Structure 1
């Protein structure tokens, strides 16, 4: 029996893609091919990730990300209301203009984990509903472009909803997976 290779950044990208396949299997298939991995490899990466997340001997969320992704590319102190936290950012090769952000409170408790625009990267030009294309923007970008916006509960732990105000005042719900736009409902 051969030893299993360590779970790394490529595997983690496959986990992100696996959840997004619920919305856009055609985009996921294209990305999977770009990464040069099989459907079976994507399923195996997801199986291994779920085993790590559910393990009673787990390393804790922040330590799990560090063990999988390495040391963060950058760290930024943030204050949100009374909460002082640290934003840790890792590159995601599949999406070079994005970073995987983990928000951790003092003591290492993780309270948010999603994709955000990389510092200095130009975001999309969002003015109308047709500008909202799958994988085109992050939660924060959509909220700023279509204010006022209100967060909504997602249908799964890696999903977020956002009530957006479109031009003309129509309110629609945008759905995100791992912080990346998936669809407008």
Structure 2
């Protein structure tokens, strides 16, 4: 992750504020990593709280133009847009660059009518993912949902504990485990058989 100078006063909600919102959610699992990233951005806690407040207001506004329009307004033109088929359904996959995670992209899958099906971080096209062979390789913020699912197949998707969260159940080293993600980025791994949550 790269450092960024503290921006001046802003009247619009843009990529910097959006990244602060993502960090606010990730701090539920990884407060130290989230704080370090916020400090690298040069943003204070008050600025982060204000960004989160404004984001929630946009999401809940009855005048909202829809999730896809909101992302385009906040993040600007997508780096790439491609048609994708998932089962019998066609959608658009839009990718945006977020400076905090230059090796990743924020991906939004949208239906033809503009409804958003999914929104999360994925590996940037053409970049190699991490080598994931053992639970010790599953470090916070090191991998995406798809990467963990492929490395520890068969993995079973589970509902997350909040709208921005997702979980994967899998077996590794002979033990059942659950990987927890926020916006598609790995936060922690929990041993299901009574072990303490791993920072793995």
What is the TM-score of this pair, normalised by structure 1? 0.96
1:3-46 Cα offsets, whole Å, 9 max, x none, are 96100000000000000010011001100011010011011000
- Inter-partner Cα distance in structure 1 for 2:10 and 2:41: 19
Q: Which residue of 2 aligns with 1:174?
A: 179
Alignment length, in residue pairs? 182
Aligned partner of 1:54 in structure 2 is 60
1:183 paired residue number: 188
C-alpha distance in 2 between matches for 1:75 and 1:127? 32
Within 2, Cα distance between the matches of 1:48 and 1:109? Answer: 21
What's the offset of the Cα at 1:59?
A: 1.5
Cα distance in 2, alignment partners of residues 71 and 165 from structure 1: 40
Structure 1 counterpart of 2:22: 16
**Mind listing any 5+ residue stretches in structure 1 that lack a counterpart?**
none
Aligned mates of 2:169, 2:157 — CA distance in 1: 6
Deviation of 1:77 after TM superposition, in Å, equals: 1.2
**d(CA) in 1 for partners of 2:52 and 2:185?**
18
Whole-angstrom CA distance in 1 between matches of 2:58 and 2:19? 15
Aligned ranges for residues 83-94 of structure 1 at < 5 Å?
83-94=89-100
1:88-144 alpha-carbon deviations (Å, 9 max, x no partner): 000010000000000001111101000000001121110000100100000000000
1:145 corresponds to: 151
| Partner of residue 166, structure 2 | 160
Where does structure 2 lack aligned partners over 5 or more consecutive residues?
A: 1-8, 191-200
Match of 2:12 among 6, 26, 37: 6
- Deviation above 2 Å: which 4+ runs of structure 1? none
Q: Distance in 1 between matches of 2:120 and 2:139?
A: 18
Q: Deviations over 1:59-85 (max 9, x none)?
A: 200000000000100012111111101
RMSD: 1.1
> Which of 126, 131, 136 pairs up with 2:137?
131
**Residues 1:120 and 2:131 are matched in the alignment:** no
